[in-house]
Each structure stands twice: as C-alpha cells, then as structure tokens.
Amino acid sequence: MSRLNWVGRAALALFGIASIVVAGCGGGGGGGSSSTSTERGTLAVRMSDAPDPSITAINVTIPKVQAHVGNDWVTVAEPNQTYNLFDLAKSDVLLGQASLPAGNYTQVRLFVSEATVTDSTGTHSVIVPSGTKTGLKINLNYTVSPDTVTEILLDFNVDKSLVKQGNGQYRLQPVIPAVVKVLSGTINGVTTDGTANLSDVSVTATYVSGPNYAAGTQVNTASSLDDGTFKVWALLPGTYTLTFSYTDPATGATKTATVNDVVVTANNATNVGTITLT
C-alpha cells in the first residue's frame, strides 16, 4: 500500500513551495481511485513561501488536495485548515496522508475555500478563481513506481501569483511550477551590509550551466527574512549565479551583490555563507 502526505512550507517572501512525496510498497487498495493498478505509492505534498515586505500575512484555507493519475482524481488529504504561509518559513507542516496507486501523475489540484492578505492597510479578501469548484491545478508529468519513494516539489510563487488590482483588491493567479524534489536542491545564506543583517533583500537564481535549463534562465527568486537569512527553493542541479538587490527604505539607496559559480546538487542545500551588499 502507500500513503500521500500533504505538507506546507513557506519562506518569508511571497513565494511558496509544495512538495509531493510518493513512495510505495506493492499491493494494497484504497485511495479513492478506480485505476486498474494494484501497486501503491506514497505521495506527500509540501508547500513553502517567500515574502513580499509589504505584506505581513497570507492566510489560505485548504479543505482538500487531490492528485490526477490515469483518468481519475484521487484525494490526497482533506485538512480543512487555515495556514498562514508566513508561519511556514523554516519548517514543514503535515496536512494529511492517503493511500495512492502507482502510475503516471499529471496534475495536482488544491482546493481553496478562503484566502486573505494582511498589508499595511488592513486585512483583505483574496479572489481565488475556481478555488472552491475545480481547485488550483498544477501540471506535472511523473511516473510513480511501486516500492519507491518519489518527492515532487510544487513552487507556489506568491510573489508572482498575487495580483493587487486597481480597486485595491487582491486576486490569486497562481504561478506554481513543479519539479521532482528529490532531484532538486536549495541555496541558502545570510545577507548583510557589513554592519547589520538585511531583511527584504531580493535574491535571484539564474542558471548558468547544466542539463536542466537553458543558460540565462531565471529559475527562482526569494527574499531575505528579518534575521537576514534566505533560501531559494526548487532548483534543479547545475551551476547558478545569484544576484542580490536591496533598497534602503529610509534613504532609497540601492545596494547589490553577485555570487557566481554556485553549484546545486540533488536533494542538498548549498550554503553560500554571508553575502555583503555594497
């Protein structure tokens, strides 16, 4: 049999990651699918987020998570809980688990019954198109084999997904790329100006060389937290250039830094240490 875990994670910039882990032990039933496969795999889903300095909370209520295998949608979990993405900056939260069939998974969908954003002007409802009816769909194409463990990372990039409309209302237009998590890595470090650690530093990871992206592809972004730490998630193996940008809110002065030849390997965190912006 197998089980599916949905986990949530967020970083303090508006960019989130969800990962799905699929493992298996042959045989077993359940999972809510009519798939003819009798082999099972475990699928776990994680989510993380990276922050926008103007927003202090993003609360999302998730009643149900499903995955598409064969011709069927199977229920992964029904947490029916509200999660503040900003609380998930440094640890995972298990949302649930279920038995799932092995097979080719093409989509995951997250049902969102309610979402709110808190910024400097108060707390606002977020429009989530199809959030309660058909869910937010994330495309992926991966075959889960029986008796194996596979983890898929869904990067909920809130920084690109959350749109503030002209009337001041927020709308969620999800940008959620997916990669196989066990094949992806992260980059972390600390930002400083040489005197104190810096928060709200924009960090961009650009692919330089390797088999997974074209050279020059801007793969992901993040922002540093209050203590100056940052983590860029969902990076497939290869060599990256990191660019850092910070605007002093008091003076408007901009400070930057660049780190070249940062190597990311599968299922590992690459620590670039302390980065001084000038």
Residue type, 65: V
Q: Is the separation of the CB atoms in 34 and 143 below 8 Å?
A: no
One domain for residues 167 and 192: no
Tally of structural domains, the chain: 2
One domain for residues 48 and 176: yes
Residue type, 168: G
- Residue after which a domain boundary falls, among 167, 183, 199: 183
Neighbours of 138 (CB within 10 A): 22
Beta bridge partners of 68: 73, 107
H runs (alpha helix) in the chain: 158-161
pLDDT, position 255: 98
**CA-wise closest residue to 191 among 250, 272, 96:** 272
In the predicted model, is pLDDT for residue 220 greater than 80?
yes
In the predicted model, is pLDDT for residue 18 greater than 60?
no
- Residue after which a domain boundary falls, among 135, 167, 183: 183
Neighbours of 5 (CB within 10 A): 24
One domain for residues 225 and 156: no
Q: Please write the tens of the pLDDT for every residue from 222-235.
A: 999 999 999 988 78
One domain for residues 70 and 161: yes
One domain for residues 88 and 189: no
Residue 86 backbone phi and psi in degrees, to 5: -75, -20
- Residue after which a domain boundary falls, among 161, 183, 205: 183
Neighbours of 211 (CB within 10 A): 7
Side by side, the strands of the sheet bearing 162-164 are: 81-84, 55-62, 114-119, 122-127, 170-172, 162-164
One domain for residues 44 and 173: yes
Q: Which pair of structure tokens corresponds to residue 157? A: 């990039």
Q: Is the separation of the CB atoms in 275 and 203 below 8 Å?
A: no
**CA-wise closest residue to 68 among 165, 139, 172, 148:** 139
One domain for residues 155 and 223: no
One domain for residues 13 and 142: yes
Structure confidence at residue 171 as a pLDDT band (50, 70, 90): very high
Percentage with pLDDT > 70 across the chain: 69
Q: Is the separation of the CB atoms in 174 and 128 below 8 Å?
A: no
Distances, alpha carbon 236 to alpha carbons 50, 178, 219, in Å: 18, 11, 9
pLDDT, position 91: 54
pLDDT, position 128: 92
Q: Please write the tens of the pLDDT for every residue from 32-41.
A: 444 445 566 5
pLDDT, position 104: 85
In the predicted model, is pLDDT for residue 52 greater than 90?
no
Q: Is the separation of the CB atoms in 95 and 81 below 8 Å?
A: yes
Q: Please write the tens of the pLDDT for every residue from 263-276.
A: 999 878 999 999 99
One domain for residues 175 and 208: no
Q: Is the separation of the CB atoms in 264 and 240 below 8 Å?
A: yes
Structure confidence at residue 217 as a pLDDT band (50, 70, 90): very high
One domain for residues 235 and 259: yes
Domain CATH number, residue 214 = 2.60.40.10
One domain for residues 104 and 223: no
User: Where in the sequence is the domain holding 24, given as residue range(s)?
Assistant: 4-183
Handedness of CA 152, 153, 156, 159 (dihedral sign): negative
Show the CA angle centred on residue 255, arms to residues 251 and 259, nearest 5°.
Answer: 165
One domain for residues 189 and 88: no
